[in-house]
Amino acid sequence: MTADAILKMLEPVAIRWTVGGRAAGTAPGDWRPALEGVDDDEAELRLLVLAAQFLDVTVRASTPETLRALPDLPPLGLPTLPQRQRGTARRLMEQYRDARLLFFLAARGVVIHPEDWLPSRGDDILPDAYAPWRDWWDRAASERTRLAPPADELSEESWDDYFPTARRIAFAALRQRNPGRAVELLAARASGESAEIRLKLIDLLAAGLSDRDRPYLESLLADRSPRIKAMASAYLSRLGHGGVGAAADITELAEFFEVRTSGFLRRTRTAAARQVKTPAQRSRRATLFGEIDLAAFAAALQMTPQELVASWPLGDDQEADGLLMAMAARSAPDEVVALCLDRLSAQRTITVPLFISLAGRMTMRQKHAVMRRALEADGGSFAIALDLGAGLGLDGALDTRAGRSLLKALADAQSNTTANMTLNQELYALGMLVSRDGARVALDRLAAAGIVSADARLDMLRLNAALKENGATE
Amino acid sequence: MKIDPDAIAALAPDQSSLKAAAGLMKPAKWSGIGSSHDGQFVWGECAGSGANPYRVMADLGDMGSKCTCPSRKFPCKHAIALMWMRADSAAPFPAADIPEWVTDWLGRRRKTGKPADAADGTMAPRKSLDEARQAEPEAAEDPKAAERRAAAAQKRAAETDRAILDALEALEQWVGDQLRLGLSGFVDDAVGRCRRIAARLVDGKAPVLAGRLDELPSRLLALPTGDRVRAAVVELGKLVLLARAYRARPGDAEVRRCIAAAESRDAVLEDPAAPRVMATWEVLGERIETRRDGLVSQTTWLLNLTSNDPRFAVLVDHYPATAGRRLSSFSAGEQFHAEIAFYPARLPMRALLVSRTPMAEGAARLKWPVDESAEPCSVLAAVQRQATEEPWQVETLVLLPAGRLALDGADRLWWRGGDTVLPLAGDPGALARATDLHRAAAIWSAGRLDLLAAETHWGRIGCDG
């Protein structure tokens, strides 16, 4: 008797047992001799044993008609972190779940092993090196499972050969090489993409923004997506063609402020924030700051953007300060952003979050300078400075005020507990900020201060010290 | 770093701990001893009563220590022995890089400052290393007392056998009841019904079988609804098979192991029938489960990289949940040379680690074996072999040949190798779905594969999701 035949004959047995009842009387014929000559209970148990053995050994789940293998996870353009450092990187990723570690590694020319970390579908803020993995999710979800990246340069013809992240990176490269061609390509092909994808592509026009882009940006002011309209308006504003936007909104924002005059001839005009009375008002003000351009806001106050920034009463309303800086970062021309940085730098106490709002418009040199000041400021810390960017290659970090505070806190913690979250964060941030030489020096200094070299809190510093600038290890 | 022996005596919770530690100060009981380059940290692995050696580490700077043993005493005898051996130079402590498991402990630990004795100011009973070192003279045994003891032990064994047989009879009646009442209702109320018979089995000196009954509902509920009744038939049938096997041969150690208790470590090591295998092994994975009886079960699967006889070993340890979270004795993917003693069985699988030595510094990882017999169809042959030799078992370890995971229309995962397509249990993680699996190790249970690890072009990957 074949297995299929037995299985068929077991159906009535299975039905009896499922609902409850004796089944020996319906057992397959070949099995009946084993069930004879014993009482009913014993026959039932014998049938159960036979059925169990039969089902376990011969019955397999029926194969589905169609099976779909997901595409291969593609290799990345950078080498994978050496085996020796994988454990450290994995621990750090598990502990902090911090994409900045990926940026740090990418800056050192390596990527994390996919067993230790893979992007999720929604992970967008990743180093460019991970684009093929980010796109893998889209490939896995689509019918297109082509493995090789497109051979052709990004063009109108090859546009559809790219998955979104890879296309975005190719577009950024094209924008750097040939800004005019890039904006032409966008004008020709972007309209077919979703608002989310268009927004990310238009965002890349920030690099090398010039009057050449103006016609395209102006065409976007009629886009169906409010976020794209706002971005186009902000970029036009950066080019000095701001002031557009919903007049009612601009007026509403301006009404949150009053213009005061001061000075000998009462010629200095200052936009002073009126007191915000309710959370709803506060929220509305923040929304308007996020949508309106600096030029339009300044014009509504009958000032130029330069006048507005130069006379802004920093410190009077810290929330408004932050909103203004974010507005400037988004929509102000380079010279106005530089004025913002000058004003912030001239303050007696440095307010790092305000600089962080402008970080995207700052040069590496400017970030270094701000970071130095942040580390020397009262209450300054590596964790706060890290928000300006990882992998900046700082040297002499422990000689700063933040460094001395860290060493003192570590010394104080020796007799207490070593599991101090703040110290953990500081050591982690320190490891992210310093150069490789700086990491080695810091490890020596910390060892001299009594921190054992095997202390897991030094993982980030050790990882930094082990990675050469090109990603190789010693 | 110099250690004051008196500090060790002060650290010990009591004189009996010192005495026990003295008994462990034999280099033969230890492996992998080492010290950090600055001498502040020492570590080693000490053979205990479990399947895995205990990993012991100490910070000589403040005499802090950690051990993977389940002892509630702190420090335990293993940690005291390690520090004592260092103080007495009773074993070489070669300087080496601090292993990751020690680093891991250092990252978690809270420094205690001073030893407890000094901190609380109370007068602790005096403890002496010298006293602990002295071997107690063995008392001459009274032959009549020995006879009485042997007779009592025999009586106890007979009572235990009787209790087990009674419990197995109750189990069979219970199985019959489930068939009569209907397996549909059994699946719906599996937790409650299994708990009741498990409690009866515990009373009947069958705690291992009771544990299996307690785990049965979770195995059923992990399956798609449509497969549960069929799986219940298989599970219940295997229970009856096991009960019959015990009744047929009550002295069969392998069957008894599945019902009452496994042999002690010493009994296995002294048993000439227990196969010993010296090989290079790789840790495939680990499963730690807290059981209903309050014990934590720690299972470690090893792959023999040197030969296929046997291909796998399974180390099983139990310790009370009240002992707290325990550091693993291994890390997934770790390779090492080791002698392993298998519990005697028709298909040896459960084992004890006798000794191990780490791979040489900088040595290349060994590739997984290319098993000529590991054709897709022979995966099922391995399952059939176990079903023939040990039909009461519910899990079979298999080494899968080259294959690939694929999704069906309902996004369920399948392993496909050649013409063989087998369903998967659990989620092996995104990477396992997105690459060819050159080889994969898996547990076959309830007609499904649960992947443990695989070799891929990304290297060895764990498949625990």
With CA atoms as reference, the chain A residue closest to B444 would be A56
Using 50, 70 and 90 to split pLDDT, how confident is the model at A414? low
Looking at A371-375, A438-442, A468-472, B206-210, which range is the least confident one?
A468-472
pLDDT at B115 over 50: no
ipTM above 0.85? no
pLDDT at A382 over 80: yes
Q: What is the CATH number of domain B376-462?
A: 2.40.50
Task: Considering only residues A246 and A65, tell me which one the structure prediction assigns the higher pLDDT.
Answer: A65
Classify residue A129: in a domain, yes or no. Answer: yes
Q: What's chain A's length in residues?
A: 474
pLDDT per residue over B15-49, tens digit each?
Answer: 888 888 988 988 888 888 999 888 888 999 888 88
Classify residue A77: in a domain, yes or no. Answer: no
pLDDT of residue A416: 47
Which residues, 6+ apart, have CB-to-CB distance to B287 below 8 Å? B297, B298, B299
List CB contacts (< 8 A) between A457 and chain B.
107
Q: Over the Cα atoms of chain A, what is R_g? A: 32
In terms of phi and psi (left: phi > 0; alpha: psi -120 to 50; beta: otherwise), the region of B383 is: alpha
Q: Alpha-carbon distance B143 to A334, whole Å?
A: 101
pLDDT at B343 over 80: yes
| 8 Å CB contact between B95 and B37 | yes
Closest CA to B25 of B97, B80, B96, B94: B80
Looking at A317-321, B127-131, B306-310, which range is the least confident one?
B127-131
pLDDT at A237 over 90: no
CB contact under 8 A, A418 and B459: no
Q: Give the range of the structural domain holding residue A398, as residue numbers without chain letter.
A: 364-466
- Same domain for A230 and A90, yes or no, is yes
Only one residue has tokens 């002992």, namely B323
- Same domain for A395 and A301, yes or no, is no
Closest CA to B116 of B189, B68, B65: B65
Q: What's chain B's length in residues?
A: 465
Q: Alpha-carbon distance B188 to A154, whole Å?
A: 58
In terms of phi and psi (left: phi > 0; alpha: psi -120 to 50; beta: otherwise), the region of A378 is: beta
Classify residue A33: in a domain, yes or no. Answer: yes
Mean pLDDT score, A234-245: 79
Contact status of A113 with chain B (Cβ, < 8 Å): yes
**Residue ranges of B 57-86 with Cβ closer than 8 A to chain A:** 61
pLDDT of residue B101: 80
Burial of A170 (0-12, 13-18, 19+ CB in 10 A): buried
Contact status of A55 with chain B (Cβ, < 8 Å): yes
Using 50, 70 and 90 to split pLDDT, how confident is the model at A245? low
DSSP strands (E only) in B103-238: none
- Same domain for A306 and A347, yes or no, is yes
pLDDT of residue B288: 87
pLDDT of residue B132: 73
Structure tokens at B12: 């010990």
- Same domain for A190 and A92, yes or no, is yes
Contact status of A52 with chain B (Cβ, < 8 Å): yes
Contact status of A71 with chain B (Cβ, < 8 Å): yes
Classify residue A78: in a domain, yes or no. Answer: no
Mean pLDDT score, B335-352: 94
- Same domain for A208 and A277, yes or no, is no
- Same domain for A216 and A294, yes or no, is no
pLDDT per residue over A84-99, tens digit each?
Answer: 899 899 989 998 989 9
Question: Do B376-462 and B265-358 have the same topology in CATH?
Answer: yes
- Same domain for A271 and A218, yes or no, is no
Domain ranges of chain B: 5-133, 143-257, 265-358, 376-462
DSSP B232-277: HHHHHHHHHHHHHHHHH-TT-HHHHHTTT-PPPHHHHHH-TTS-EE
Structure tokens at B402: 């080259």
Number of folded domains in chain A?
A: 4
* Rounded (5°) CA angle B425-B426-B432: 105
CB contact under 8 A, A452 and B416: no
pTM of the predicted structure, to 2 decimals: 0.80
Classify residue A98: in a domain, yes or no. Answer: yes
For residue A336, CA distances in Å to A218, A292, A348, A351, B426 come to 22, 16, 21, 19, 56
pLDDT of residue A185: 92
Structure tokens at A294: 């600096």
Q: Alpha-carbon distance A87 to B404, whole Å?
A: 27
Task: Indicate the DSSP class of residue B347.
Answer: S
Using 50, 70 and 90 to split pLDDT, how confident is the model at A329? very high
pLDDT per residue over A152-164, tens digit each?
Answer: 678 888 888 888 8
pLDDT per residue over A22-45, tens digit each?
Answer: 999 999 988 999 999 999 999 999
Q: Over the Cα atoms of chain B, what is R_g? A: 25
pLDDT of residue B448: 92
Classify residue A201: in a domain, yes or no. Answer: yes
pLDDT of residue B323: 65
Burial of B433 (0-12, 13-18, 19+ CB in 10 A): buried
What is the number of H-type helices and E-type strands within chain A? 24, 2
Torsion angle in degrees (nearest 10) through CA of B258, B264, B267, B273: 30
| 8 Å CB contact between A81 and B269 | no
- Same domain for A198 and A252, yes or no, is no
| CATH assignment of B265-358, among 2.30.29, 2.60.40, 2.60.120, 2.40.50 | 2.40.50
Closest CA to A109 of A431, A443, A391, A461: A391
CB-nearest partner of B461 from A44, A115, A416: A115
- Same domain for A432 and A451, yes or no, is yes
Using 50, 70 and 90 to split pLDDT, how confident is the model at A265? low
- Same domain for A335 and A401, yes or no, is no
Structure tokens at B430: 């995104």
CB-nearest partner of B240 from A14, A21, A48: A48
- Same domain for A211 and A268, yes or no, is no
pLDDT per residue over B165-216, tens digit each?
Answer: 999 999 999 999 999 999 999 999 999 999 999 999 999 999 999 999 999 9
Q: Alpha-carbon distance A151 to A158, whole Å?
A: 9
- Same domain for A276 and A214, yes or no, is no
- Supply the mean pLDDT for chain A: 87
